[in-house]
Amino acid sequence: MTLWLVLGAVLIAGWFSNRYAWWRRQVDPRHPRVLMYHMVSPHRPGAKFNGLRVTPEHFEAQLAWLQREGWQFFTVSELWEQWDTLPAKSVALTFDDGYADNLHNALPLLEKYDARATIYMVVDRHERDWSTAKKAHHNTGELAREPKLSDEELQRLVASGRIEIGSHTLTHINLRTTATDDKRRELAESRRLLQAQTGQAVTSFAYPFGIYGEEDVALAREAGYTTAVTTLDGIDTRTPCPDPLQLKRIKVSGKDNMLAFVMRMRGGKRGWKK
Ligand SMILES: [Zn+2]
């Protein structure tokens, strides 16, 4: 009996520690944080990708906390341009893929909290199910059915003056399985098309699935990007300064509660990961 109680307590403590990483040392707030989001929307019952859906209520609570704690918002390009003179508590919010809820659910909250963000757009994003490009068994069509930003909606985001548009390739390619010439085209063409559409310089890139190698970093630079974000979990140091084409991000999961978010802002990552 006692043995089971002890075992149960150990299991619960282990789960709690892994989830909240409370033991992780706080990373100095002088080091900027880059947060990674996908959708801001209510969860769909039984859906596979609810981890990518941060509810509007959670998103608002996160923005309110950031504002209350004195974090200042930057786009990724602004963050890099001002890297040497960034104030303590600098944060960049990023959204991958180009979901319609970024306009309908996220933008009103960004406005309410005077925040800014970078959205990494897949140019050819409609009816496309990129989850299958990584793992064939992901073929449920869920992400294909998820509404994406129309070109007109993209314009409204740009017109808000608080959104930087970055590229996430033409078709959300898997860089590991794509020929070099095709990579070149995906990187350069997506940049050119998004610049034409937005009238803004497009200088930031997000590696689809976070999959990339050395060659891809060089190709991104060659295509004219000055910053690129990965899905490497963590916080880059102000000094020594990181490779701006391999910036780390803090994953914000739709399954996290507020405590998990705060711990992630403190320590950069979840669980036991190095
Ligand atoms: Zn993506």
Residue 244 and residue 80 in contact, taking contact as beta carbons nearer than 8 Å: yes
Instruction: Read off the pLDDT of each residue in 63-67 and give the average, rounded to a whole number.
Output: 98
Q: 97 alpha carbon to ligand 1 midpoint, in Å? A: 5
At residue 260, the pLDDT reads 92
What is the CA(216)–ligand 1 centre distance, in A?
16
**Which residues are within 5 Å of ligand 1 (an ion), measured at CB?**
96-97
Output the CA 246–ligand 1 centroid distance in Å: 16
Report pLDDT for 1: 72
**Is the pLDDT at 131 greater than 70, yes or no?**
no
CA 226 to ligand 1 center in whole angstroms: 19
Supply the pLDDT for residue 11. Answer: 86
State the pLDDT at residue 133. Answer: 59
Count of C-beta atoms within a 10 Å radius of residue 258: 12
Read off the pLDDT of each residue in 244-261 and give the average, rounded to a whole number. 95
Distance 24 CA to ligand 1 centre (A): 28
Residue 148 backbone phi and psi in degrees, to 5: -105, 165
CA of residue 29 to ligand 1 center, whole Å? 28
Q: How far is the CA of 171 from the centre of ligand 1 (A)?
A: 10
Q: How far is the CA of 218 from the centre of ligand 1 (A)?
A: 20
- Structural domains in the chain, CATH included, are 2-267 (3.20.20.370)
pLDDT at 253 over 60: yes
- pLDDT 10s digits, 39-61: 999 999 999 999 999 999 999 99
Ligand 1 centroid from CA 3, angstroms:
46
Q: Could you tell me the distance, in angstroms and rounded to a whole number, from the CA of residue 195 to the centre of ligand 1?
A: 19
Residue 108 has pLDDT above 60, yes or no: yes
| pLDDT tens readout for residues 20-32 | 666 667 899 999 9
How many Cα atoms occupy the beta-carbon half-sphere of 141 within 13 Å?
2
How many angstroms is it from 135 CA to the middle of ligand 1?
13
Query: Over the stretch 197-223, which tens digit does the pLDDT of each residue have?
Result: 999 999 999 999 999 999 999 999 999
CA of 133 to the centre of ligand 1 (A): 11
> Per-residue pLDDT tens for 223-236?
999 999 999 999 99
> Can you give the pLDDT at residue 210?
96
99 Cβ neighbours under 8 A, 6+ residues apart = 38, 39, 41, 146, 147, 148, 149
Question: Strand, helix or coil at 74?
Answer: strand
pLDDT of 208 reads: 97
Q: pLDDT per residue over 134-161, tens digit each?
A: 655 556 788 888 999 999 999 999 999 9
